[in-house]
Structure 1
Amino acid sequence: MATSDPAAADPPADWGIQPGYHDVWGSWKTPSDEAETLIRRAMGAQTDDPAERPPESTPLRIVHPGDAGASSTTGPSWLTLEDGVQIQLANGLLPPDLPLGYHRIESDAGRSDPQVEHLIVAPPRAHLDDAMRLWGITAQLYAARSRQSWGMGDLTDLGVLIDWATERGAGMIGLNPLHAPAPVGPPANSPYSPSTRRWRDPLYLDVSELLGEVDPATRVEAEAASRQLNAGGRIDRTAVWELKRTVLDARWARGVNDPAFDTFRAERGDALTLWGTYCALSEQHGASWHTWPEDLRHPHTPAVRRFASSSAAAERIAFWSWLQFLIEGQFAAAGAQEVVVTDLAVGFAPDGFDAWEWQDHLAEGCRIGAPPDLLGPDGQDWGLPPFVPWKLRSQAYRPWAETLRANLLHARGLRVDHVMGLLRLLWIPPGLTAADGAYVQWHGTELLDIVALESARAGAFVVGEDLGTVDPGIQDQLRRRGLLSTRLLWFEDPPPNEWPQQAMAAITTHDLPTVAGVWSGVDLADQRAAGVTVPANGDDDFRHRLRVAAHCDDAAPVDHVVVASYRRLAESPCMIVTAALDDLMGAEHRPNVPGTIDEHPNWRIPLPVPLDDLEATPLADRIVDALQR
């Protein structure tokens, strides 16, 4: 991953397009005039003149508790706090004791239209207990299926994993993103390109608890089909969803009369209704809103309102809302609040729900990604649309705040994928490639202010995925703001006992090999079979790190290497030390091989043994013992 200069932390001028960046080979890359023009146009520029500036929007100020000063409005003004309380400002001066939150200042200033200013009061740092010291497990929940699962790991299996880990002293369980995919069509295998990051995936529901409320024939057929799915060597999300939908539809058809569901809908309000509306529209017109009738392609058209108010649509909106009610209930019942660290994907699909609702704030045709580097000579195009910085800021970052709030619900912490993107992102202009991209930076560190605010409100810590070649200035900025860094044995040259304290330590991630995969040679074989270009020395860099960590030679048994490596990892002073559930269960295949789609069964590989057997797995106990030390 290439890096931009430390100035990325400073507020951007004009459109925020940076003049260039140093790639991993040390060369300075300057975006072309064409690229800059296309990006400015996607941001709303009306001309190709580089001197054109973004339009003026509602002013925004972010302050910290205890700060005082004048607002940008003139004349008599009133401050409306987030809870509706109004305070008259003397001479426009802000009081120093303002509560955390999203507030609003208004002044008539003798004009027909009042002046308005957004005011956000945020703590200087995210929530973080400086004395925190814990160990935990990271897991791909879909892969952690038990003998009772319906083809993939579910929220009941999460509860089993939480119970097993916390009984042994674990303080966290890190999960893959649970974001919802498109409500119709084959579910996406990758959890990193969701339809929405604010609602959770009903695929993870344990529907077996509903079987007592459906007809006997449906129950018998569903149980038989679930056993067959569970016996498969690959996770078939399409088949899993079709089976679970059969039970959910049958249960819904019998009627749901639950006051708790009514309360849930009232509390989630318009946001849940809009999600249900999108799902109901998708059932009629397909998953991609780009192909819908034109008058339905924006959430706030009269046609959408008429659709949502019809009796047929209301029933479907209620159904999709009910699924979210079930998910939240099962997630909380699993004990997530005390230990789960959720995973926030870097973006969302261009034709999904989040893009439908927030299309006015996105850069049409642009995608985010990564520039060329050693692992990807052509760069990476993630196909995800970026927010236009000035447009998101004009909304006082409401979409970003809503996204954080949804992912911090019932969670102890949050992992932010590609956390450097909170300071700047590589934009790929329409019609060009990642190699032609340019970095676009946000307004200073305001996205981090919103992270700090939502983290403080939730009482949850935040881990940033800052892997790759990252400017030390950026990492220092994240550290000062209270975010934990990520340190991996695969990449760090210093030994674990020299790693920083404010970090989460691990050996691997979902995109990298398991210990058994490296030591057995299976991972290298998988890459070659998938057509991935591997280094001339194969996986010897990884093997060397294991030899050093485990103090062993190539003849050492794999279990010894795994346990000894985690024992070395536990010597780190990092606040959090984690073990991958794949390593606990002796998995040889990594969950995902970057750069491949169907060439490798990405995101579809279950753990080699059922989760039920974790209790009787000596390797898991030995790794836990190493971490406890």
Structure 2
Amino acid sequence: MSAPNVDQWGIQQDWVDADDQPQRSSEETVARLREVIGEPPADLEERAPVVTRPGRSTGLRSTVSCEDGSTRELDDVVPDDFPLGYHRLADGRRLIVSPGRCHVPEEQAWGWTVQLYAARSRRSWGIGDLRDLRTLREWTESLGGGFLLVNPLHAVAPTVPQETSPYLPATRRFRNPVYLAVEDVPGVEDADLERHDAELATLRSAGLVERDGAWTLKRAVLRSVFDRTAEDPEFTSWRAEAGQAVEGWATWCALAEEHGPDRLAWPEAVRRQDAGGVPAYLRDHADDIAFHVWLQWLLDRQLRAATGSTTVLQDLPIGVSGSGADAWAWDDVLAAGVTVGAPPDLLNSVGQDWGSPPLVPWRLREADYEPFVESIRGTIAGAGGLRIDHVMGLFRLWWIPGGAGPQEGAYVRYPADDLLDIVALESHRAGAVVVGEDLGTVEPGVREALAERGILSYKVLWFEDEPAAAWPAGALAAVTTHDLPTVAGLWTGSDAEDQLASTDMAEDDVRSGREDLLERLRRDRLPADAPVEDAVVEAYRQLGRAPSLLLSVALEDAVAEERRPNVPGTTARDNWRLPLGVPLEDLPDHPGVARLLAAMRGTLPEDDPARGRSVGG
């Protein structure tokens, strides 16, 4: 997909905003970004990976060393029977052969959208864990649901305070051990958990999700189990197969525990993964490193047990912390002194800065796309589904120079065709459905490119002028998202008050935004004085008419929760710390659940007030 006015650094100075108004980034911003991006080496095109598909011309003639150990000859056009995967040309260049299309489900399914940290049971340690995910999966299956969509489960630094945002992880390749169900860990039966009863009672009764307390206690117990038990042969085998990536992650964790979570403040000898002092650190801290590898093995086991055969769509954040493990491993690929975000749009009228440094496009190519490949593969692993947050970032990203506001950025373009075909290859291998979150400022051609590859788009009731019955089949359909009002919060007005109290958004913008959303909720003549429960039913009655392949149901709406998980653009709120208002054990008997699902399925009882209203479009 080509874009106008893109310079040799990939900067798109002229662009169109969410209101279809032309905009131009400042010369100062462009100059600063050019300096950060730098110029690619003259021979980059001779070394960069070739991403293609069977049946396509490559202009290449070479012997190919395939990843399965076989050798094939390539004579320009890729044969139809050429193996898919990651190969090497005779000159050492990487050849990536993709099917060009993701795995797509054949039948419509519905499923819960879950903030796993918030879905606390009475037995969990103050934060939802992977046994709770298994409980949710089994319950969903019993109700006829076909998937779960969870918040990013990626790891943060193993220190306190814990990073609260799931969208600013230390890595996009490995998972957060705070989600481990400690009782399910081999060897924990000898850990004398009863002596932690008082600490557990405090965590379980907390009004917010207390990650710091949960992780401190879990880490202490887990380390004692690790130190006390003999090495499991299954762990040894898993570790060998996992390879150097997990060893690098575990080394970063051990360093973070010793020197703090910001790798930029570490001694120079270990500040990068390829720094001279790292080999000696590996020798001197073998047990600490093995412990963090062991945690990832446990997470892999528990996640696979939690998901079973049900699709769990895991969320891929747009980036990582600049002080984290992926940045430590790929320091040269990330841009320094820049963060990514979004210009003002429907989600936030003042724009957003997400705090993650971007990958420099030409450096990503020079790295054989490996940082991207490993992030996609690591997020899909063991769950069968992927949601790509801000999928427009595969086409272009809004770069914000350090010290500037979100309105003072510019778009930098990425090799979208290559990245999308890599997603398709990983989806094909894992049999994983892929959803692209395409909300906000979306340029022409993006949704068409996603549809061509079988990546489902997002359709959200709050944003759509067309009734749900007119939405496309190739989509995940939802009423709301974690960044948008719940039905109850919108209907009562409490969400608008929350926004005004915690952001710099103008009151007129917040009030008018609420009225726009209410118009969509009332399109079938929902009375203005209807109770909250009826508003929830109405929203999901509309959603149920959508022909979209996936229908997403927010657990917050099922229990009429007024607070959304996150208000973008603020840190003066308990974002990502709000527990679901109903314990996990009580969800099956909650009256809102049955009524919501009946509304979505069109099976409300004859005496339900929602049945008497117009069915609209």
What is the SS of the residue equivalent to 1:383? coil
Tell me the distance in 2 between the aligned counterparts of 1:57 and 1:42: 23
CA contact (8 A) 2:178 2:218 kept: yes
CA contact (8 A) 1:153 1:204 kept: yes
Which one-letter code corresponds to 2:480 in the other structure?
Answer: T
Deviation at residue 547 of structure 1 after TM alignment: 2.1
Cα 1:500–1:591 shift into 2, 3 Å:
same
What is the SS of the residue equivalent to 2:93? strand
Q: In the alignment, does 2:57 pair up with 1:83?
A: no
Give CA-to-partner distance per residue, 1:128-164, whole Å, 9 cap, x none: 13x3311111010111101111101111111111111
Which one-letter code corresponds to 1:420 in the other structure?
Answer: M
Which one-letter code corresponds to 2:94 in the other structure?
Answer: H
Cα 1:239–1:24 shift into 2, 3 Å:
same
Q: In the alignment, does 2:81 pair up with 1:97?
A: yes
Q: In the alignment, does 2:437 pair up with 1:465?
A: yes
Which one-letter code corresponds to 1:237 in the other structure?
Answer: R
The equivalences for 1:538-553 within 5 A come to 539-549=514-524, 551-553=525-527
Q: In the alignment, does 2:30 pair up with 1:45?
A: no
Residue 429 of structure 1 is aligned with which of 401, 407, 428?
A: 401
Which one-letter code corresponds to 1:542 in the other structure?
Answer: L
Which one-letter code corresponds to 1:157 in the other structure?
Answer: D
Tell me the distance in 2 between the aligned counterparts of 1:520 and 1:323: 43
Which one-letter code corresponds to 2:553 in the other structure?
Answer: A
CA contact (8 A) 2:185 2:298 kept: no
Residue 117 of structure 1 is matched in structure 2 by 93
Which one-letter code corresponds to 2:235 in the other structure?
Answer: F
CA contact (8 A) 2:55 2:78 kept: no
Deviation at residue 299 of structure 1 after TM alignment: 0.6
Deviation at residue 377 of structure 1 after TM alignment: 4.5
Tell me the distance in 2 between the aligned counterparts of 1:267 and 1:281: 23
Cα 1:169–1:291 shift into 2, 3 Å:
same
Q: CA RMSD in A?
A: 2.3
Residue 3 of structure 1 is matched in structure 2 by none
Give CA-to-partner distance per residue, 1:481-531, whole Å, 9 cap, x none: 211110111111111001111111111111111111222332223223335
Tell me the distance in 1 between the aligned counterparts of 2:393 and 2:496: 31
Residue 234 of structure 1 is matched in structure 2 by 208
Which one-letter code corresponds to 1:601 in the other structure?
Answer: D
Which one-letter code corresponds to 1:346 in the other structure?
Answer: I
Deviation at residue 375 of structure 1 after TM alignment: 5.2
Tell me the distance in 2 between the aligned counterparts of 1:420 and 1:126: 17
CA contact (8 A) 1:70 1:93 kept: yes
Cα 1:83–1:490 shift into 2, 3 Å:
same
Tell me the distance in 2 between the aligned counterparts of 1:419 and 1:579: 21
Tell me the distance in 1 between the aligned counterparts of 2:181 and 2:317: 24
Cα 1:452–1:538 shift into 2, 3 Å:
closer
Residue 197 of structure 1 is matched in structure 2 by 172
The equivalences for 1:599-618 within 5 A come to 599-618=572-591
Q: In the alignment, does 2:610 pair up with 1:626?
A: no
CA contact (8 A) 1:336 1:412 kept: no
Residue 575 of structure 1 is matched in structure 2 by 549
CA contact (8 A) 2:54 2:81 kept: yes
CA contact (8 A) 1:43 1:388 kept: yes
Deviation at residue 40 of structure 1 after TM alignment: 2.2
CA contact (8 A) 1:514 1:583 kept: yes
Q: Which ranges of structure 2 fall in alignment gaps of 5 or more residues?
A: 603-617
What is the SS of the residue equivalent to 1:197? coil
CA contact (8 A) 2:9 2:38 kept: no
What is the SS of the residue equivalent to 1:512? coil
Cα 1:519–1:476 shift into 2, 3 Å:
same
Cα 1:14–1:540 shift into 2, 3 Å:
closer
Residue 110 of structure 2 is matched in structure 1 by 135
The two structures have a TM-score, normalised by structure 1, of 0.90
The farther-off stretch of 576-585 and 559-568 is: 559-568
Which one-letter code corresponds to 2:257 in the other structure?
Answer: E
Residue 499 of structure 2 is aligned with which of 527, 537, 547?
A: 527
The equivalences for 1:96-495 within 5 A come to 96-106=80-90, 115-129=91-105, 131-210=106-185, 213=188, 218-310=192-284, 313-373=285-345, 376-495=348-467
Which one-letter code corresponds to 1:86 in the other structure?
Answer: T
Aligned-residue identity in percent? 45
What is the SS of the residue equivalent to 1:198? coil
Residue 15 of structure 2 is matched in structure 1 by 21
Tell me the distance in 2 between the aligned counterparts of 1:350 and 1:410: 27
Tell me the distance in 2 between the aligned counterparts of 1:271 and 1:22: 40
Tell me the distance in 2 between the aligned counterparts of 1:615 and 1:488: 26
CA contact (8 A) 1:60 1:393 kept: yes
Tell me the distance in 2 between the aligned counterparts of 1:342 and 1:521: 31
Tell me the distance in 2 between the aligned counterparts of 1:433 and 1:532: 13
Deviation at residue 285 of structure 1 after TM alignment: 1.1
Deviation at residue 93 of structure 1 after TM alignment: 7.0
CA contact (8 A) 1:70 1:94 kept: no
Tell me the distance in 1 between the aligned counterparts of 2:539 and 2:67: 49
Which one-letter code corresponds to 1:547 in the other structure?
Answer: R
Q: Which ranges of structure 1 fall in alignment gaps of 5 or more residues?
A: 1-5, 47-51, 107-114
Tell me the distance in 1 between the aligned counterparts of 2:93 and 2:186: 53
The farther-off stretch of 431-440 and 173-182 is: 431-440
Deviation at residue 203 of structure 1 after TM alignment: 0.7
Give CA-to-partner distance per residue, 1:228-286, whole Å, 9 cap, x none: 21111111111111111121122122123211111110110111111111111111111
CA contact (8 A) 2:351 2:569 kept: no
CA contact (8 A) 2:18 2:442 kept: no
Cα 1:54–1:185 shift into 2, 3 Å:
farther
Cα 1:64–1:212 shift into 2, 3 Å:
closer
Deviation at residue 85 of structure 1 after TM alignment: 1.8
Cα 1:472–1:59 shift into 2, 3 Å:
closer
Which one-letter code corresponds to 1:125 in the other structure?
Answer: R
What is the SS of the residue equivalent to 2:164? coil
Deviation at residue 337 of structure 1 after TM alignment: 4.7
Tell me the distance in 1 between the aligned counterparts of 2:230 and 2:312: 29
Residue 66 of structure 1 is matched in structure 2 by 55
